Amino acid sequence: MQFPSWYFPKKLILLFDIFLTFFSLILAYLIRFDFIDFYDLFWVSQYESIIWGVPTLIIVRYLTFLIGKTHKGIIRYLSGEDTLRIFYVVSIGTLLICFISIIRYVFLDGLAILPKSVIIIEYLGTLFFMLTSRFGIKLIFDNQKKTNGKKINILIYGSGKMGIVTKKTLEKDEDSSYNVIGFIDDDLKKEGLLIERKPIIHTYNLNEKIKNLKINAVIIAIKDPDIKNKRRLIELCLKENINVKNVPSLDDWYEGDFSSKQLKNIKIEDLLGRKPIRLLNKNIVEEFKEKTILVSGAAGSIGSEIVRQVVKYQPKKVILLDQSESGLYDLNQELLSKNKNYNLEVVVGDITRKERMTNLFDNLKPEIVFHAAAYKHVPLMEVNPSEAVRTNVGGTKILADLSIKINVEKFIFISTDKAVNPTNVMGASKRISEMYCQSLSKITNTKFITTRFGNVLGSSGSVIPLFRKQLENGGPITVTHKNVTRYFMTIPEACRLVLEAGYMGNGGEIYVFDMGDSLKIIDLAKKMIQLAGLKIEKDIKIKITGLRPGEKMYEELLGDEENTIGTHHPKIMIGKVKPINHDDINKLVEKLISLVKNQENEKIVRNMKSIVPEFISNNSEFSKLDK
């Protein structure tokens, strides 16, 4: 049966419901009187009852349907709420009939409006016919949608409330081409059970069943899945060329619902292979509340996320410092669109301009400084050592010295794992900055804290955006070496750990983050190709280009002479390093910065190597200085 796409007129639905009421009443009489002769039943034995009872019941039903608006619902989208409304309206109508019947029996002529059994049977019949007719029409529409065009067979990962809502939403979404085959769940006890006649499959049994069910896509609709099961599921889907999508977070749903158009492809972040790091210390709010906080490099990937998280802790003011005018403007507009009450001070400035920074510190008087501004691209800094030293070392020194001058409470320096046994100019410049900040903690009340972590997924200029751009251009994806590995974490979790370290730091510490297992870059490239629905080598080729100047095969989080001690946070450790005399490192740093003026790169790098003896250049023109 094929129903039209337009909606049924409401008056027609109301008339149809009245017809169902009348039909139920006739059926009730026939059942009540054992289907005796129709004429004898209506015009002889039950004439008095029918002449008064039938019109009264029809009028009561009409008025209650009208007031209860049972005809206003769109039948093809019948919901549990619509079903309850029909139940309540029909029940109230029956109670009114009973009340009227009692009034007549007690106060008028001693006769009931209708026989009690007829009232009961009519009530059940009306309720049954109204609901089944609607469910029938809804079912026909649902089946009609399924036959229009090719359907995509899907499994929903998550059989809880979110998974069930996802199923219902997709089924009633006219734009959806999804056909829900069943559910996936981590709970072994649910294996084999049914939800709305759809089977639940445990994640361990997917390998054999996913092929038999001819699944085209899997939709993840679970808030906190077991990370190992989720990873196994995604790996299986990639292997079988099955598309994987994510349901948007509940915050993005509109009035408890969402559209199939909101489903997003999974991101490479979902394949990190470990549980995302979360903050444990609730007292962190008090650390930043009503404080003036400066974030240098605020327009960058890390700096901007630190700002986004800090503003949630009700600071007195947040100073956004960067030399990128466009980046600062975009971040400021983003924050103001979310909350116009944020007290933001936008400062366009270069951290190496001492007079500009002095003016900033003297006038705005920050109490906490997050120093994220830096040059970070290894190949570029390898050919521009003077700029690496001028910004990464000189800029850090200026901000650190000014922090002491105005008695800043805490100075949190954002470093990198490339500062450990550096093989490039960028890493060495960050290690020298670490040493300088660490030395200051011994001679001042300002607490200097260093945080050290690896690559951040999706940060500006990192490997993920590069791979995405190469994919968009049709390839090839370039990897420097098939054995290169890196540690990865997401931008939000990296910044959460920076805030946590900033809270717990007492000065002089170098905080090292547990980033899980390192990942092969070539494996990352392969997964990104598969996530894009493409085939390796057939659609997108992978090209090995060779290590770049200064690049390591693998990164380290601790130096050869460093070890760690634990903290209250299981993912944060303190790296134990040798104490550094401030006067000694200050003289060395000032001498290094003085060489920047003449931009004599070889002298600069030789000087860096004298400050950081473990700095051994790799695949670089400066390797000759190590001999």
Q: Which residues are the active-site residues? A: 418
Please give the Cα distance from 173 to 160 (Å, whole number). 20
- What sign for the dihedral angle of Cα 602, 605, 610, 615? negative
Please give the Cα distance from 63 to 74 (Å, whole number). 20
Structure tokens at 390: 């001028």
Structure tokens at 404: 């002491």
Question: What count of other Cβ atoms lies within 10 Å of the Cβ of residue 262?
Answer: 15
DSSP 8-state secondary structure symbol assigned to residue 257: B
Per the CB < 8 A criterion, the answer to whether 465 and 458 are in contact is yes
Angle between helices 396-405 and 354-364 (to 10 degrees): 30
Secondary element (H or E) of residue 443: none
**CA distance readout (Å), 34 to 30, 31, 112, 195:** 6, 5, 20, 41
Name 2's Cβ contacts closer than 8 Å, sequence gap at least 6: 144
Q: Reduced to 3 states, what is the DSSP secondary structure of residue 340?
A: coil
The verdict on whether omega for the bond into residue 476 sits within 30 degrees of 0, i.e. cis, is yes
> For 214, left (φ over 0), alpha (ψ -120 to 50), or beta?
left
- Beta pairing partners, 82: none
Secondary element (H or E) of residue 577: none
Name 29's Cβ contacts closer than 8 Å, sequence gap at least 6: 41, 42, 46, 50, 118
Residue in the structure block whose two tokens are 């499994």: 155
Please give the Cα distance from 56 to 138 (Å, whole number). 31
SS3 content of the chain, % helix, strand, coil (to 5): 50, 15, 35
Question: What count of other Cβ atoms lies within 10 Å of the Cβ of residue 369?
Answer: 27
Residue in the structure block whose two tokens are 């290690």: 431
Please give the Cα distance from 369 to 447 (Å, whole number). 10
Per the CB < 8 A criterion, the answer to whether 170 and 152 are in contact is no
Structure tokens at 190: 């649910």
Question: What count of other Cβ atoms lies within 10 Å of the Cβ of residue 108?
Answer: 8
Ranges of beta strands (E only) in 352-398 are 368-371
Please give the Cα distance from 444 to 421 (Å, whole number). 28
Please give the Cα distance from 422 to 432 (Å, whole number). 11
Q: Reduced to 3 states, what is the DSSP secondary structure of residue 50?
A: helix
Q: Reduced to 3 states, what is the DSSP secondary structure of residue 109?
A: coil
Per the CB < 8 A criterion, the answer to whether 544 and 482 are in contact is yes
Q: Reduced to 3 states, what is the DSSP secondary structure of residue 222?
A: coil
Question: What count of other Cβ atoms lies within 10 Å of the Cβ of residue 45?
Answer: 13
Per the CB < 8 A criterion, the answer to whether 17 and 70 are in contact is yes
What torsion, rounded to 10 degrees, do the Cα atoms 497, 502, 506, 512 define?
A: 30
φ, ψ of residue 495 in degrees (nearest 5) = -70, -35
